Amino acid sequence: MASQDPLTQLFTLKPPESVTEMRSLLDAFAGFMNVGLPEVGAFHEAVPVHEGVTADVIVPAGAGPHPVLVYLHGGGWVCGSPATHRKLAHRFAEAGYLVFNVDYRLAPEHPFPTPLEDCVEAIRWAHREARRFGGDPERLAVGGDSAGGNLSAAAAIELAGEEACPKAALLIYGVFDFASIGDMPEELAAGPLAEMGEKMLEMMVGAYLGAERDQALLANPRVSPLRAAHRLPPSHVVVGTADPLVRQAEALVKALSAAGVPHEHHVDPGMPHGFVQMEFLAPARPAIDRMIDFLRRHV
């Protein structure tokens, strides 16, 4: 029997039942997702940020100073790394952005608030060190997908008013309000796939926030940044209609609108969670191009 292609394997393998299995699965497909890296000016791997935290620094081609993007990878707060999101980070560098692709510490070994605090410190560090790599610290944005979208929004709120405060945020299918994380369209909330998704979600959220979570924790803006959306910079919100987190994006956009925060909201028909990294899906590159256009207008 012929072996399955990687994409078929990705969608037919037994869902991971532990954090260890999740990490192994994501690492196994990182090479597939990151084939054909765009050309950039320079690549510096695992540059020390502070204790336990590093960042891959991707320098654009051409003369600086370059605008800066601090990228926070997804992976449910429990997996992922700069290596799993290398091609996406390179896309932004290809477009002229000095990218700091952060390797923050992960749950359950390092539960909340450590991943968030790592990301906040990484943004401060990128602001201090940008000139060393040809960047302009006064033109700094933050962005991330999934758990990284949550961390990007929470970190931007934490830094509001500081010198290192991001001027814009890319919020890619993130979790923005943990109290309503189970709210999803009816067509996505039924069937065996939804049940498997709920188990994986609890595994990730439990690792990050603990098995017992009170309402005060869920309402903390450091956990649920929607609760302080008025402190966000101009934001570009991306999600697909087949993503269980589609209503998370809708709720954030509603809060941004109420607060008068400039924002864009793009919902790609039929696209699943994680689609921006899946360049074999036609909407992926246009979604990246929209984000680059947004950054050019705000940073």
Q: Counting beta carbons within 10 angstroms of the beta carbon of residue 25, is it exposed (0 to 12), middle (13 to 18) or buried (19 or more)?
A: middle
> Could you say which of 66, 85, 90, 273 is catalytic?
273
DSSP structural state of residue 41? S
CA dist 272 and 270 (Å) reads 7
Q: Is 81 a catalytic residue?
A: no
Which position among 56, 73, 146, 268 bears the catalytic label?
A: 146
Per-residue burial over 91-101, b if 16 or more Cβ lie within 10 Å, else e, is bbbbbbbbbbb
Length of the chain: 299
218 contacts 226 by C-beta, under 8 angstroms: no
| Cα Rg of the chain (Å, integer) | 18
Instruction: Choose the catalytic residue: 85, 243, 268, 298.
Output: 243
Distance CA 195, CA 72 (A): 28
Asked about 44 being catalytic, the answer comes back as no
For the question of residue 243 being annotated catalytic, the response is yes
Active site residues: 146, 243, 273
